[in-house]
Each structure stands twice: as structure tokens, then as C-alpha cells.
Amino acid sequence: MKYKKKERQEKLVEMIEETPFITDEELANKFGVSIQTIRLDRLELSIPELRERIKNVANKNWNETVKALPIDEVIGEIVNLELDNLAISILDIKEEHVFSRNQIARGHHLFAQANSLAVAIINDDLALTANAEINFTRPVKLGERVVAKASVTNRNQKRTKINVRSYVQDELVFEGIFKMYRSTEK
Amino acid sequence: MKYKKKERQEKLVEMIEETPFITDEELANKFGVSIQTIRLDRLELSIPELRERIKNVANKNWNETVKALPIDEVIGEIVNLELDNLAISILDIKEEHVFSRNQIARGHHLFAQANSLAVAIINDDLALTANAEINFTRPVKLGERVVAKASVTNRNQKRTKINVRSYVQDELVFEGIFKMYRSTEK
């Protein structure tokens, strides 16, 4: 649906606040305007481009937050992390992630993003995956951006249960329930 | 238990026939002798070293057998493959596969070996993972060799169910049940 400029810019601000990692292309599609129009809107509104928005978030030094592994061993880029509660990471699907034949992302990369997020969320020095149930709900293509959201759903004794849902835009592409061992009880 | 040389060499031949991908170190442990003794035994018996034994098997051109993906996209080295029936691959756990902190293999590498074997076994041009239930039954350490064995357990309509069990020597380290989509029905 088409909005007038003022209305569109108001909605644009709202939308970027709600989903800060939305791309200009996605915004253009949502508003039915060109990417160039979105860029001009952002310029007028002084909203930095996506890369800058991610950097701002990434600048929070997650390295000091993550406990269970060094941050460079996390697959994907962490953009939010509250230990033993929730975590979000972004993975851009590039050539090295896809089957050469059909340009579909290989399952183990989506799994690696989700699994390493499930490790990173643990507020402990040791976290190992005990088991997982996973679903690939729709193929992910080259060039798509996968946002994985992990949340701790249950914790007892030495096990912590973590639900990870990964999305491309609003579409669920992967879902996993991970049960993790950890070194200490609380 | 210790054997006399003749007895040990007979058992060595049997053991290598049964489990051709056993290492000299594993053999030395089994017989309670030094690795050097095993090497001399192999020399006397004209049994090639492990690397050669693997190469002999790998020389069978699996590339012409695999249908669902190019063979260089399989994680691990395929050593046996009967389409829509069974498949075996080997993955040596190196520095790049482990957590730096504890030298334990990261789950997604074991998953990648198993999952790509589940793709390779499919006698079809297209195979995608729909879902999986996986268990990590014991941590795998740097330097260990993981042998993954996949077998098709069920097939109906467009889904094929594949059970993958991965071992280090005789110990189960990973188990996964993969349900795969494929492009054609039979």
C-alpha cells in the first residue's frame, strides 16, 4: 500500500525501531517504493544505513559478555545478548554457504549459526550440546540474511533448553530446540 | 591382553579386514604393543599403511556414484556408498574443528559430516533436509577420527528417512535421524 511521504517516513522510523536490521530493499518492498526513495528518506531523517546500524549494535563489546566461547567462534554476528535469557545473530548467506548446484544454503550452516548462538547464550565457562531437534522450514537462498533468535525456555540441574528460531524477513526458515550441558548448577 | 607374534599377526590381519580404517595407534592399544611393533607387523605382512588403505577405497570413483551433490561438497571423505542404501565417511578432527578452549569438536562439524552423508546417499538430483533429531553422545577430541555410517531406514512418498551413527573407534559419539525431501517419487 502506498503512503504519502510524511506518513511513509513516520512509518519508516517506527519500522526501523522495531526491526533495526531490516534492509533498504525490504523497506522498499514494504512501502512499494524504490530503494532510492528509501535512501533519500533515511538521509532526510538522519537514519544511518543498515551496515552502520549493525556496527552500532556490534560495537557494544559482546566479547566481554559471551562466556562459553570466544566471540570469534560464534557463527554469524551477534547483535544482542542477555546471558541465560536471549540472543540474536545475523548471518548473510554467501557463495561459501550454498550448494553450488541450486544456490540453496546448506543445512549445516543454519545449524551452526543456531547452535553457536545456543552456546553463546550460556552464562558458564563450559557449554556443550547434548541433543537437538531441528526443522528446516523453507530453503534459504544465496544473498538472503538469516536472523536467528535464541531464548532460554527451561533450565534445571545441568541441562538448559534453548529454542532457536531463524528468519529471513518475516519467514521462519529454521527452528531448533537445543538441550545443553553446562559446567555448573545454579 | 598380550599375544605371541604369530598369533598377533593373524589377529592383526583379521582386524584390518574387519575395520580397514583402524589406525596403527588404535591397533597398538588393542594389542598392548608399541606403534613401532605394529608398523613392523604390517611391513612383514605387506599391509599398506592406513593412508594408502583409505586411498585404495577412495580410488573407487565415488564422484560418479554421488548424485545429489558434487563430491567435493561432502564433508569428510566417503569410503563406501550404495545409493538409497548405505554410506560411510571419515572425518579427522583437526584444529579448525574444535573449540579453542577445550579442544572438543564443535557440534556443527559432526552434524555437517552426518548431514552431507545423508544428502549423498540419496539417488536423486535434489535432496534437502526437512528435519533431524540428533544426539551428541560423547565429546570428540582433537586428533580423533570420526567414522559416520548412514543407512536408509524408511522411504515413502517424497520423504526418505536416514539414520546416521558416528563412531570414534567403537564408541558412539553422534546419532542422527534425518528426514530428507527428494525431487522424485519412486
Q: pLDDT, tens digit, for every residue of A129-167? A: 999 999 999 999 999 999 999 999 988 767 899 999 999
Give the Cα separation of A32 and A122 in Å (integer). 41
More confident call, B165 vs A20: B165
pLDDT bracket for residue B80 (50, 70, 90):
confident
Phi, psi of B150 (to 5 degrees): -110, 140
Q: Could you report the per-residue pLDDT of B107-121, keeping only the tens digit for each?
A: 999 999 999 999 999
The size of the A-B interface in CB pairs under 8 A is: 78
Q: Could you report the per-residue pLDDT of A64-80, keeping only the tens digit for each?
A: 778 888 888 889 988 88
More confident call, A59 vs B33: B33
Q: Which three cell numbers stand for residue A181?
A: 550441558
Instruction: Check CB contact under 8 Å for B133 and A133.
Output: yes
Which among B107, B151, B79, B99 is positioned nearest to A164, based on CA atoms?
B107
Instruction: Check CB contact under 8 Å for B108 and A107.
Output: no
Nearest CA in chain B to A113: B108
Instruction: Check CB contact under 8 Å for B131 and A128.
Output: no
Give the Cα separation of A148 and A91 in Å (integer). 8
pLDDT bracket for residue B182 (50, 70, 90):
confident
Is the pLDDT at A91 greater than 50? The verdict is: yes
Q: Which three cell numbers stand for residue B127?
A: 535432496
Helix (H) or strand (E) holding B174: strand B171-182
Domains in chain B, start-ordered, CATH in brackets? 5-56 (1.10.10.10), 60-182 (3.10.129.10)
Which among B154, B115, B136 is positioned nearest to A127, based on CA atoms?
B136
Give the Cα separation of B1 and A184 in Å (integer). 39
Q: Which of residues 42-101 of B touch A (CB under 8 A)?
A: 69-70, 73, 75, 99-101
Give the Cα separation of A36 and A14 in Å (integer). 19
pLDDT score for B186: 46
With cell 547483535, the residue in question is A79
b/e A13-46 (16+ beta carbons within 10 angstroms → b): eebbeeeebbebebbbebbebeeebbeebbeeee
Helix (H) or strand (E) holding A36: helix A35-45
Give the Cα separation of A118 and B97 in Å (integer). 18
Is the pLDDT at B126 greater than 90? The verdict is: no
pLDDT bracket for residue B70 (50, 70, 90):
confident
State CA B59 to chain mean position distance.
16
Q: Which three cell numbers stand for residue B102?
A: 577445550
User: Which of the residues B89, B100, B104, B131 would you substitute to probe the A interface, choosing the one with the greatest number of A C-beta atoms within 10 Å?
Assistant: B131
pLDDT bracket for residue B72 (50, 70, 90):
confident
Nearest CA in chain B to A110: B108
pLDDT score for A1: 61
